[in-house]
Structure 1
């Protein structure tokens, strides 16, 4: 079975529900969720003039290949209302493959490890929570080390499943 770390993000609609629906779809179509980080509220990265995101990292065990997972995650995004208008823009759901086992994949449609892991605090905080000692297969550093060296200063706040976070 393949071990896949996936980042979920949403900044439109009922964000908690979007995360929940994405996890349900991932379990139905890709594999069993082995671990889930806390949910974090994060400032938008890349295009900052948009609503804040809820982000979460999950670990899935799956028999599928990386490209099969990519195709299914993109289908799930569409099914949950993802519309790609501009790079790093607002979205109902975003599903990124962060790590696939300890493989390095350079395919025209998929790069793993995700090329921006080390630059994004909103990815590293939840990743370090559930996989602190996991070694990045390219940088040869664990997730905590990557987080400690991350230069991204945008706010990342761990939240609870509070009604006040539903928009």
Structure 2
């Protein structure tokens, strides 16, 4: 089994409910065990004019291969109304593989560790709730160093998920 972290985000169609539904779907994946979910956080969109996002991170133990997991995550997104109309547009659900055990993955469809996670407080702070701060990413970066370089700015930790 591989220990995997999934970034989750939504800014359409009741975002907190979208994340709750995604968590239920993650728990039903074959050969996979949901081991934890961070608190929910709200953050501003990276692009102006979009609604605020609700974000979280889920931890999984899974026997699924990386691309099989990616396909399963995209099926969950589609099942919850995700339309891939534009790369950075609003979305009902976005599920990203952040870390996949200690693997470095560089496939056309999948890059792990996730290529933007180091600069996104809405990913790092929920991740730190589930992972040890001395976690060393497959590319050699330490989670505690990423946190130190990415201040808790623009985030609002919600009281419950």
TM bucket (normalised to shorter chain) is over 0.9
The structural deviation recorded for 1:137 is: 1.5
The structural deviation recorded for 1:79 is: 0.5
Indicate the SS of the match to 2:28.
helix
The structural deviation recorded for 1:154 is: 5.1
Indicate the SS of the match to 2:12.
coil
Whether the 8 Å contact between 1:43 and 1:154 is mirrored in structure 2 is no
Deviations 1:26-72 (A, max 9, x none): 11125221111111011112x23200010000110111011100011
Q: Is 1:13–2:16 an aligned residue pair?
A: no
Q: Is 1:91–2:91 an aligned residue pair?
A: yes
Task: State the alpha-carbon separation in 2 of the partners of residues 147 and 15 from structure 1.
Answer: 25
Task: State the alpha-carbon separation in 2 of the partners of residues 119 and 32 from structure 1.
Answer: 28
Deviations 1:102-158 (A, max 9, x none): 1000111111110001111111111122212211211x232121011127x750110
Give me the CA root mean square deviation: 1.6
Task: State the alpha-carbon separation in 2 of the partners of residues 20 and 133 from structure 1.
Answer: 28
Task: State the alpha-carbon separation in 2 of the partners of residues 19 and 120 from structure 1.
Answer: 18
Whether the 8 Å contact between 1:113 and 1:137 is mirrored in structure 2 is yes
Q: Is 1:137–2:132 an aligned residue pair?
A: no
Structure-2-length-normalised TM-score: 0.93
Give aligned pairs, total. Answer: 159
Gaps of 5+ in 2: none
Indicate the SS of the match to 1:87.
coil
Q: Is 1:100–2:65 an aligned residue pair?
A: no
Which position in structure 2 is the counterpart of 1:159? 158
* Moved segments of 4+, more than 2 Å: none
Indicate the SS of the match to 2:95.
strand
Task: State the alpha-carbon separation in 2 of the partners of residues 48 and 100 from structure 1.
Answer: 31
Gaps of 5+ in 1: 163-167
The structural deviation recorded for 1:161 is: 3.4
